[in-house]
Amino acid sequence: MARDLIEQGADLIDVREPDEYAEGHLPGARHVPLGTFLVSPREHIKQDNVVFVCAVGARSAVACEMAAAIGLTRVYNLEGGTKGWVARGLPIEM
């Protein structure tokens, strides 16, 4: 489902730390570390159709909760995170 949303133009936000993001991220993902996002979430949301991703899904779940708390209704957590994405043989960028 997340892959379909991404292909349809959902905003993809990677909430991992800078070193994790640099090691590889989903194509087209914007990097906004979770701590930065939590301080000012509205600054980092471009639309009400957002997929959050982290390493395995825990931090991105927190980002989803914050996005929902500020009124977004179409927020999604990439199940399995980047590790799950890679395990399925899907591409990443460096």
Residues catalogued as catalytic: 54
- Compute and round to an integer the Cα radius of gyration of the chain: 12
Residue 63 CA, distance from chain mean position: 8
Q: Of the candidates 79, 90, 5, 15, which has an alpha carbon nearest to the alpha carbon of residue 49?
A: 5
